[in-house]
Amino acid sequence: MKFNTKTIHGGQKPEEATGSVMPPVFLTSTFAQSSPGNHKGYAYGRGTNPTRTALENSFAAIENGTHGFAFASGMAAIDCVLRLLKPGDEVIAGDDLYGGTYRMFTQLFQKYGLEFSYVDMDDVKNVSDAITQKTKLIWIETPTNPLMKIADIESISSSVKEVNSNIIVAVDNTFATPYLQKPLDLGADIVMHSATKYLGGHSDLLMGALMVKDEKLAKEIHFIQFAAGAIAAPMDSFLALRGIKTLHIRMQRHCENGKAVAKFLKNHPKVGEVYYPGFKDHPNHEVATKQMKDFGGMVSFRLKDQSKEVAFQFLENTQIFTLAESLGGVESLVNHPVTMSHGSIPEKERLKVGITDSLIRLSVGIEDIEDLLADLEFALNT
């Protein structure tokens, strides 16, 4: 199947008992057994649920994996990946990360004995040079949140495996979605999504996803998911599966609108730097062009006036762009990383990578572009 068909039919089949085209929402915690251990593939909801199974099959299909896993949140999915490691193991991550990921690394797993180092993944050599005997996981976020840096997944995966084939390469594919790039096809071992975002697409659920190809790795992840219990609920699974069925057409519009918004901002006299990998002068434009189908609907920019007061004035004056956490829904959202998505990162570390008071992140929705541009113009000039 081609991708657009996979979003609708990938891993799916009509429900056997009734022929229902969409899987029913199985709101049950347990399943009847005819004798001890003899059941119809489902015993207890923490282990498996038919609605969640349908979603996980879809997850695997759209990322060209063999196994998909649905978690209670994106952070629960990252937590599961880190539980593959043991005290003393090292994780190499990019230097521009979602604040919640950084918080989990530094405030939770670091005190449990994992070690973390952060490198600029613009240069593949920075990653390979950082590898030590302790390195067990490479954590790649691309495009990054919020500075839209692009890491070369294929080159990093290849160079890492040359050093040590046992090192796991994991990619947070939330911003791009499998519509734009497929990390497993580029050599990664694990793909992670905050399915709350583009995969769900309607700002009505919390969910995380992991997709893999390797059978052994899939068994380890399933055990951790079952033992720790951070699973996606049946109703959320149904909503996410419904969202995935329109992922391709939503992403087309996100990309179209994102491109127009980025161009508008770049030409506006009150706007400084615009972070959007579709621009030819973006430092990672060639890599983005090579590994991504298009450039997505996420755009970050910096106001020329560097004060927090002016940034707040802009944020308070948008009418269609809603000031809120999260991203990837059909509606346009605006975010202030310093006080919102990256507030948990210490100021010194934020400033190192350029997350300043005047930095603003847009999740460009699928509304009429004329309305979005008018809203930005109004907020910039009010």
Query: Of 96, 98, 102, 179, which one is the catalytic site residue?
Result: 98
- Cβ atoms within 10 Å, residue 208: 25
The half-sphere exposure of 218 on its side-chain side, counting CA atoms within 13 A, is 13
161 assigned to active site? no
Query: Of 79, 152, 172, 236, which one is the catalytic site residue?
Result: 172
Nearest to 240 by CA among 203, 268, 215: 203
The half-sphere exposure of 242 on its side-chain side, counting CA atoms within 13 A, is 14
What phi and psi values does residue 36 have, to the nearest 5 degrees? -55, 120
Nearest to 243 by CA among 284, 193, 278, 292: 193
- Cβ atoms within 10 Å, residue 281: 7
CB 290 within 8 A of CB 129: no
Query: Of 149, 197, 250, 350, which one is the catalytic site residue?
Result: 197
Ranges assigned E (strand) in the chain: 67-71, 90-94, 115-119, 135-141, 168-172, 190-194, 208-212, 271-275, 298-303, 322-323, 333-335, 359-363
172 assigned to active site? yes
Q: Which helix (H) or strand (E) holds 57?
A: helix 50-62
350 assigned to active site? no
46 assigned to active site? yes
Query: Which residues, 6 or more positions from 25, have their beta carbon under 8 angstroms from its beta carbon?
Result: 51, 234, 235, 237, 238
Phi-psi region of 37 (alpha: psi -120 to 50; beta: other; left: phi over 0): left
Nearest to 327 by CA among 293, 376, 304, 361: 361
- Cβ atoms within 10 Å, residue 202: 15
C-alpha span between 184 and 212 (Å, rounded):
7
Q: Which helix (H) or strand (E) holds 8?
A: helix 3-9
Query: Of 46, 83, 263, 293, which one is the catalytic site residue?
Result: 46
- The conformation of residue 38, written as its DSSP 8-state character, comes to B
Residues designated catalytic: 46, 98, 172, 197
